[in-house]
Structure 1
């Protein structure tokens, strides 16, 4: 069994049982307990499981505003960021756009500009926004999150891994000197995969999220090429972005 298949089976087990044990899964899959621990570490880093003594459980969900709630907050700032980010896209480019209230604004701006491009996305609103215009849209498969109108999970990551694109446009729950981070379960893994498969990575984030940390770390600032914001970062975040040679664009 391939690593990706084994990890998908682990996630399936957690849908059927509240807790799974390392020793039981090692015996079932015919692998060492260390192999299962590495699987657990990877799935935990992606926010897909919660580690527990001797095993793992499904992730616990604290309160985090839904996509609809976030879409109605700081609208002016996010619209400005989305418009400026859309201007970076050149005709004919290939893109990955992840789910989020600010990336939806970017999709709306791209649709308004009529920029011909190819877009892969895990977001239904992004796909629907761009699907009737000049863009060719490819929608990822995966596990559907109703509150986010998006898909995540092993199938989403495997699908994204088949493509190489010119640029990705991603959002984040928070941005600190350590890099962007995410609160929605499974989103961090999608963002990491999009960054890996893109020649350039652009982060869209409003200043309310500066100097904060989400549940799951996405990656170092050095993984980003550009950050589009509504207000220039200051202090330690400004210095960290400069040291990482990240271009900051203020909308």
Structure 2
């Protein structure tokens, strides 16, 4: 077992190595970096905090990414995990959207897949997507020619690629959508639907207040995963949940929402 090295003596060397690792392979995990450096995970977390304060990396759950990479997490890095599940969920949820409809879509990798699925329909479907997701607007302007795209307005989080804040709320104040589709970063049966940033949570709450039918898209890896998040909806605040599978009926038994399990 590797011995803890004197953190004070090797701090500069460790942090230089962390940045080098990020430049060659981003993201990196705390556990992997601890093994690589032969130090404890507590030491690595401290190094990550120092480097984050210097603007050299961005902390994410369980690890870190380069700041320059972070804006692409929602559509690149996150979509690498559970891709089949997310696409199955998106394909099933897309069946809720009728031709000539205008829908509200939140930010996230699974909601991005939903918009991609809708874009595969014929041009005559005449669907309008209103979103606060920069990736949907940016990539959609090039790839989703069959859809009409509209941004919500708001303050742009360059780090995370979404619009938020009072300008977002103001832009939707007089609008009621038939359906809203939002993602979730976690679910706790006794607490509700969760996300990892307070600004994201506030944006999702605004979205839920402006739709008749409230739909959550999430993969099963996010149920009761032990991580701490900010709640954006209680179990009874949504109407439908699309998920690849509902392990142990965790969602179905704790919410009146209709749970749709999507075959992968």
Instruction: Establish whether residue 181 from structure 1 lines up as the match of residue 178 from structure 2.
Output: no
Pick one of 199, 204, 210 that aligns with 1:191: 204
Mapping of residues 50-69 of structure 1, within 5 Å: 63-64=60-61, 66-67=73-74, 68-69=76-77
Residue deviations 1:5-49, cap 9 Å, x none?
xxxxxxxxxxxxxxxxxxxxxxxxxxxxxxxxxxxxxxxxxxxxx
SS in 2 for 1:194: helix
Shift of 1:123: 0.6
> Do 1:175 and 1:209's aligned partners in 2 also have CA atoms closer than 8 Å?
yes
Shift of 1:197: 0.4
Gaps of 5+ in 2: 1-57, 65-72
> Partners in 2 of 1:171 and 1:85 — Cα distance?
12
Pick one of 118, 129, 132 that aligns with 1:119: 129
Pick one of 153, 156, 180 that aligns with 1:141: 153
Using the size of structure 1 for normalisation, the TM-score is: 0.69
Shift of 1:130: 4.5
Residue deviations 1:59-85, cap 9 Å, x none?
xx8524732321211111111111111
> Partners in 2 of 1:127 and 1:160 — Cα distance?
17
Mapping of residues 234-249 of structure 1, within 5 Å: 234-241=248-255, 244=256, 246-249=257-260
Distance 1:225 1:129, change over 3 A: farther
Pick one of 227, 235, 248 that aligns with 2:241: 227
Using the size of structure 2 for normalisation, the TM-score is: 0.66
Q: Residue in 2 aligned with 1:47? A: none
Q: Residue in 2 aligned with 1:250? A: 261
The runs of at least 4 aligned residues of structure 1 exceeding 4 Å deviation read 129-132
> Do 2:186 and 2:229's aligned partners in 1 also have CA atoms closer than 8 Å?
no
Q: Residue in 1 aligned with 2:182? A: 170
Shift of 1:103: 0.4
Q: Residue in 1 aligned with 2:217? A: 204
Shift of 1:199: 0.6
Gaps of 5+ in 1: 1-60
> Partners in 2 of 1:236 and 1:137 — Cα distance?
35
Distance 1:173 1:238, change over 3 A: same
> Do 2:156 and 2:164's aligned partners in 1 also have CA atoms closer than 8 Å?
yes
Aligned residue pair count: 188
Shift of 1:116: 2.1
> Do 1:182 and 1:218's aligned partners in 2 also have CA atoms closer than 8 Å?
yes
Shift of 1:235: 4.6
Distance 1:85 1:235, change over 3 A: closer
Shift of 1:146: 2.3
> Partners in 2 of 1:122 and 1:236 — Cα distance?
29
> Partners in 1 of 2:260 and 2:114 — Cα distance?
14
Rg larger for:
2
Higher relative contact order (CA 8 A, sep 6+): 1
> Partners in 2 of 1:133 and 1:223 — Cα distance?
33
Q: CA RMSD in A?
A: 2.0
Pick one of 55, 80, 85 that aligns with 1:77: 85
